[in-house]
Amino acid sequence: MKNIIYVMLLAMLVCLQSPQAQAAVSVMGSGYNPRMIYSGPFQDQVLYYRYPGYTLWQRGYSRELDSLACRPAVISFKTSGTWQGHLKPDGSCGSPAEPAEWALGNRLNYDRVPISNKR
**Of all residues in the chain, what percent are helix, strand and coil, respectively (each to 5)?**
40, 15, 45
pLDDT of residue 27: 41
Whether residues 62 and 106 share a domain: the answer is yes
Whether residues 52 and 71 share a domain: the answer is yes
Answer yes or no: is 9 within a domain.
Answer: yes
Question: What CA–CA distance (Å, rounded) separates 99 from 24?
Answer: 25
Answer yes or no: is 119 within a domain.
Answer: no
Asked if pLDDT for residue 60 goes beyond 50, the answer is yes
pLDDT of residue 29: 41
Length of the chain: 119
Question: What CA–CA distance (Å, rounded) separates 19 from 43?
Answer: 31
**Domains contained in the chain, number:** 2
Whether residues 7 and 52 share a domain: the answer is no
pLDDT of residue 5: 44
pLDDT of residue 67: 86
3-state secondary structure 29-61: HHCCCCCCCCCCCCCCCCEEEECCCCCCCEECC
Q: Tens digits of per-residue pLDDT, 84-119?
A: 999 998 999 998 888 899 999 999 999 998 876 665
User: Structural domain of residue 6, as residue ranges?
Assistant: 1-31
